[in-house]
Each structure stands twice: as structure tokens, then as C-alpha cells.
Amino acid sequence: MITDKITLKEYSNEKRPVNFRPVVFFTLFFILGISISRNSVYFADITLPFLLFALSSFAFAFAVISKHKKLAWCLFGLAFGFARFIINFSLGDVLDFYLTSISNFFLPLKEALVSQTFSLFPEKAAGTISAILWGHKDSLSPLDISAFRGAGLSHILALSGLHVSLFVTLFDKLFPRYMRKEKLVFCVIFLIIYCSIAAFPPSLIRASIMITIYLVSSAYFVHYDGLTSIALAAFIILFISPSEIENLSFQMSFSAILGISLVYKPIHIRLKKLIPRYFASSIAVTISATLGVLPVSLNNFGTFATYSLIGNLIVLPFVTILVFSSFPCVLLSFLLPKVASALSMVISFIYDIIFKISDFIASLPFASLEMSIPLPVSVCLFAAMFVVSQYYLRPQIFKLIVLTFISILALLSVLVI
């Protein structure tokens, strides 16, 4: 019997020569609208955002009437960004208030988990594990912060895609393949509770939204698009709280995942010809995430961790083991404290390895270099990553011309600014 149905894998592997993504462009211009509005009120009052909103709304209406769909999506995002900022400026972060209320509701549970963590592990290890698992950074050791930052590993202290992917992988083993919708419901409930316990950090919200979109696409056999997923996550976070645009955690999280989405594939294709596939994948993820974070890091901190790539390749496997083992260990301690106590000694040893490697890397000569770049150069770096990605569907010669033009713009920005 011939059927026209296709599997999710076949559907996902289809070549899709689609360059314009409405949600991506809408979100980009939505962010632009919020950014312009925030900068304009520093020099004037709310009048300018009102005028810009009226102007962009008129232009959006004209684009719809003239049937310029791409332009309409961009202008709609711009006008929506102005409107959201005006509402936020007038009424405050109303939606953010509700998230805080939800987080406060789960605060006793968070305090119980943090307390149990400190009862299991030595104080120094407990401070780091509490930050990694529950987002509790008040007890972090200054030595840990200095070592991780000097080695370019401070991102491991943030709740992010690593945690979400590990939990979803575990649930994937628990649920049979035919129970996709049941797994989706269970994962969404778990992620909402976990985000509430951790007080809704942007990096964890971003990862939770993206994995939820992936699970929805898997459950309903819909094509999953990475860039659209990133854009939708950014829009949801900024719609709830536009002030998050200036949050470094928000910027670092999205720049890292954007780097992975843009340049992971080109790097992986070249690496797997030289080294085994598993190592090629791990190295490609690390390089692409580092490249994504680099523009934001240089623009905000003015420092570059020289050995961050090597540090991530060595330390991240141990961090993965730490998260995978410490989370069930803390939960197990409520039921079987003696078993959890024995397991905690092994986990403490893993933490010691992570800290000693990080401290050693941070103590190496030239571990941190002073290097600052202006915002236009950061934008140029992201533009260059987009050009070399699989999303920019142009001939190689055209890509080289565009990259040359971007390089000239970046050089002019450095000379002028």
C-alpha cells in the first residue's frame, strides 16, 4: 500500500531553501524597537517612542496594503517593540510581578533543596552545586568565581540548556516513543516547576522554551527550526520583561545558542573529516558557543579568556557528570540519606577535579587578556557568523564579498569609535 505520509526524521532531513523566517525577523525588529525606546528615554521622555510607534504603525499598514509581506513582518515587530516598551514604561513589569509571585510560592521548596545540598556536601562544593542545580548563588566561594571566570568557565554556574537537555534525555528513556504527547505534558510541567524554583533565570527560560518547541514539533510531526525557536524564546522573555534586554545572563545565553545554531554545522562538517565523529561534535559545539559568546563578552567585560576553549573541552564532561549525579543524589537524600551520603563523596571528588582544573587554567600566563570592542564590531561578528552559516543561501563567491564588506565595516567602526 502506497502512502504519502512521511516520518518526522524524513521530514526534518528535507532540504528547505527558505531564507526568510517571519518569526525571526519579527523578533529582531521587536528587539530593535525596545532598544531604540530604552535609549531614547535616556535623552528625552516617552514622547519619542510614541512618535516612533505611530510612524512604524503607519508604515506597517502601508506594507500590508501594498502586499510587501516581508517588510510588513519587520515593521510589525518594530511597532510592537515600541508599544511594549510604552506599556512597560507606563505600568511597569506587570507580567514580571506574576513570575516573582510564582517563584516566591516555590521558595520554601528551594530553601529545602539548598539546605539538603549543604547537608550532603562540603561547604565549598555545596555552594557551587547549589548554584548549578538550584540557581542559588549567594553561597558561592569567591575562589570558585575567580577560578571559573579566569578559565572562561563561568557559564557552568548558570542554569541553561545543559540542565534541560539532561532532564529531557532522562524522560526520553522513561517514556516509550509512541508516548510523545504524554512526554511533552510531563516535561512542560517539570520545566515550569524547575524554572519557578530557580526564580526564572533567562538562560533556563530560553532553554525550556526551545526544548518545549522541539517536543511539540516531535509530538505533532512538525518541522523544527532552530533559528525560529531561538527567536520565539527571545520574544516571549522580552514580552514578559523588556528590561531583560540589558541582563547579561540574557545576552550571554542567547549569544551562545545563536553561535551554536549558526556555525556549529560548518565547523562540524570540517572537523569530522579529521577526527572521530563524537570528538568532532563536542569540539564543534564548544567552538561555536565560544564564538557566539565572544562578541558580547568583549563588548561588556573587555576581557578574553585565552584558554576557554581548552578549559571547556576538558571540564564540561565532568560538569555533565556532576549535574547528572548531584540532582538525583539530593532528591535521594530525602528517602535514603545513607546511600545519598555515600554517593555525595564521589560527587565531591568530581567537584574537586573541576575546581582544580579551572584554577590551574586560570593561573596560567596570559589566561586573561584585556581586549574591548565597540558594539558595532560585535554586530559585525554576528553578521559574519550568519553569512558562513547554512541559513545564508547564497553562492560562495557572494558570501566572500559580503564577508569582505562586513570586515571593512568592523575596521571602520574600530577606527571611528
Rounded Cα–Cα distance for residues 292 and 286 (Å):
10
CB atoms within 10 A of CB 218: 18
Mean pLDDT over residues 93-97, rounded? Answer: 72
Rounded Cα–Cα distance for residues 41 and 36 (Å):
9
- Is the pLDDT at 11 greater than 70, yes or no? no
- Over the stretch 310-324, which tens digit does the pLDDT of each residue have? 888 889 889 989 988
CA-based Rg of the chain, rounded to a whole angstrom?
A: 23
* Whole-number Cα distances in Å, 194 to 94, 303, 322: 22, 33, 18
Helix (H, G, I), strand (E, B) or coil at 15: coil
- Is the pLDDT at 295 greater than 50, yes or no? yes
pLDDT (0 to 100) of residue 129: 92
- Over the stretch 396-409, which tens digit does the pLDDT of each residue have? 898 899 999 999 98
Any idea which of 41-45, 279-283, 383-387, 403-407 has the lowest mean pLDDT? 41-45
DSSP secondary structure code for residue 21 in this structure? -
Any idea which of 17-26, 73-82, 204-213 has the lowest mean pLDDT? 17-26
- Could you tell me whether strands 303-305 and 368-370 are parallel, antiparallel, or unpaired per DSSP bridges? antiparallel
> Could you tell me the pLDDT band of residue 76, with boundaries at 50, 70 and 90?
very high
Inter-residue contact 298 to 304 (CB < 8 Å)? yes
Rounded Cα–Cα distance for residues 189 and 166 (Å):
16
Cell numbers for 185, please give them: 505534558
Rounded Cα–Cα distance for residues 371 and 169 (Å):
39
Cell numbers for 373, please give them: 570592542
Selection from 171, 244, 223 nearest residue 7 by Cα: 223
Which residue is associated with the grid cell 502586499? 67
> Could you tell me the pLDDT band of residue 41, with boundaries at 50, 70 and 90?
low
β-partners of residue 369 are 304
Inter-residue contact 160 to 207 (CB < 8 Å)? yes
pLDDT (0 to 100) of residue 6: 34
pLDDT (0 to 100) of residue 258: 93
Helix (H, G, I), strand (E, B) or coil at 416: helix
Mean pLDDT over residues 254-269, rounded? Answer: 91
pTM for the structure as a whole: 0.85
Rounded Cα–Cα distance for residues 291 and 375 (Å):
16
pLDDT (0 to 100) of residue 8: 37
Rounded Cα–Cα distance for residues 27 and 206 (Å):
14
Nearest 10 degrees: CA dihedral of 229, 320, 136, 202? -10
Mean pLDDT over residues 314-342, rounded? Answer: 90
Inter-residue contact 139 to 126 (CB < 8 Å)? yes
More confident residue, 305 or 17: 305
- Over the stretch 221-247, which tens digit does the pLDDT of each residue have? 778 888 999 999 999 999 988 888 888
Inter-residue contact 298 to 371 (CB < 8 Å)? yes
Inter-residue contact 117 to 134 (CB < 8 Å)? yes
Rounded Cα–Cα distance for residues 327 and 226 (Å):
28
Which residue is associated with the grid cell 511533552? 184
